[in-house]
Amino acid sequence: MSPQHDRQSAIEASVAAGTGGGAWIDLERAAPEVATEHAIRTRKAWWLAAGALLVLAVAAVVTMRVTQSSKPLVPLADQRNIPLVSTFVPGLRPVSTEVMVTGSISARHDLPIGDGGQAGRIVAVYVQVGDVVRQGQILAQLDDSVLKPQVAELAAALAKARAQAALAVAEYRRAVAIGPNGGLSAQNVEQLQAAAAMDAANTKMVAAQLQQKRAELALTRIVAPVAGTVLTRTAEVGQVVSPAGPPLFTLEDQNRVELIGQVAEQDLAALKVGQPAEVYLIGYPRPFPGHIWLLGATVNRQTRLGEVRIALAPNPALRPGAFARAVIKESHAERPVVPQTAVMTDSRGSYVFIVNRRNIIVRRAVQLGGVLASGVVIAKGLTGRERVVTLAGGFLQGGEKVQVAPVAPARS
């Protein structure tokens, strides 16, 4: 065998012996290839260990710096800062608030006109809906063919009764003038006196009958009791009517119309009889002038609305039944005016947040009086001296502690 082969066998035997028996391997005596491989593995282990230590050192340094620069932790209850709010003291300003009224146009006095006499048949109708009539003008004519002869007959009977009464009075006067010397007894004179009285009574009776028939004849003519405009007409030629039937015409009294509207309960106190108003109709750009002539004495329990009536000047455009709205201006009133952002609304109504002397948020219910270019008019709820939160009120709640920014002066 060659020397090289012998050397290799010796190395393998030495390695085997060292592995199996746990003896220490002398690298100097081992082969050069084994020593080189072992050295490379050792260097890699040292480099990995050094890199891991370096990474840990860098992480420790970074953690230290972050910890030193950050604020110390505090309990959760102390992390909530007191909010800073902006407030506004509105004061009082002379404003011209407006009250809105909605309703419909109605005749000031609707006059239903029907048959006031006996049942009869309409033979003529002289007016149409919308016609302007004068007082006493005939609207319709009922059949009077029976009443006219009766009136003529009673008129003749009255004339006859009057003549008979005049003759009886003359005979009685002659009898009184002749007296006992003329051969007439006292009994005869008394008889003539009674006959004259009976003829006078008969004359009155016939006159009363004639008056009654003439009144019945007059009722066959349906006339306008006042001047006005015909609003409705149900009368037709040939129709049989009776006093118990529905009205034949509805007349608007003297063209006087009004707006009957509803207004909120809180606005009733601001209205007075005689206040001017402007009424707007759909399709008409210009308002119709009017004034309040009546305010309702009660408020509806369900709607919380009260009635207001606005008298209007005569105008053909003001047709009863038309929808209308009115604007009533309340001038010379001093009210607080706050920004629109300060007013909030929920199920309980409109409200604002104010800051009291202890810088605590307090909810204050308010009633709105209108909207101006500068803000919202507060009709009730504020005196004008409160500190009203102007912004971000939705993020606050009653009883919350706040910080108040410098108060802005009231706007002039």
Average pLDDT rounded to a whole number, residues 97-126: 86
pLDDT at 8 over 80: no
Query: Percentage of residues in the chain with pLDDT exceeding 70?
Result: 80
Residue predicted with more confidence, 232 or 28: 232
pLDDT grade, residue 142 (50/70/90)? very high
Average pLDDT value for the chain: 80
Distance between CA 248 and CA 253 in Å, rounded? 16
Q: How would residue 19 be classed by pLDDT, with cut points 50, 70 and 90?
A: very low
Q: What is the pLDDT of residue 108?
A: 79
The pLDDT assigned to 280 comes to 94
